[in-house]
Amino acid sequence: MLTTLLLMAVPTLLFRVLGAVGVTRFATWRVSAAHGLAFMLLMTGASHFAPDSVTVMPTHADSLAMLPSWIPFPDFTIYFSGALEWLGALGLVITRTRTLAGIGLAILFVFLLPVNIYAYVNDIQFNGEPPTPLWFRIPEQFVYLAIALWAALGLEPLRRVLTRLRPATPAVSR
């Protein structure tokens, strides 16, 4: 259940440690998290292409089983989503493309959430394991979405929204 989250969190911490010891590329948590998310996406994207003979990770067949039957071109959809994960990962590590990649990945994560819900509701096993419980999977998906948006936009847009939502303080009359 924690494997995917650890595939992002551990590299993020390692990248940040590198930043702390002087690797300037990883001088901030934001960039380290972008690279950690990229690492996770490389691993999860690889599962979309893995043959059934692979036993150390989920396979193409596992991903295929998660798709609702109404989704057209299921094989293509799995390969395409894996390719999008890899492109998103590449985009996150290239500074010039990080914003576009983060926004694109946030959209992808929104589209993947119903597939994960479908897999849970229909008790579809993933790599021989029961589906991740929704009480964990939904917040986990929002973590990935939030990190993708943070990597893309930073915290300033969130601060602007929160400032607009905050009630104005009335002027004190004397």
pLDDT score for 156: 82
Residues linked to residue 126 through DSSP beta bridges, in sequence order:
129
Determine the residue type at 68: P
Could you give the CA distance from residue 38 to residue 86 in angstroms, rounded to a whole number?
A: 8
pTM for the structure as a whole: 0.88
Euclidean distance between CA atoms 3 and 152, whole angstroms: 24
C-beta separation of 69 from 124 below 8 A? no
- pLDDT average, residue stretch 136-163: 87
What average pLDDT does the segment 1-8 reach?
Answer: 89
How high is the pLDDT of residue 164? Answer: 79
**The pLDDT value given to residue 171:** 59
**Chain-wide mean pLDDT for the chain?**
91
Dihedral sign, Cα of residue 24, residue 30, residue 31, residue 33 = positive
3-state secondary structure of 5: helix
The per-residue pLDDT for 23 is 97
Complete DSSP assignment for 136-162: HHHHHHHHHHHHHHHHHH-SHHHHHHH
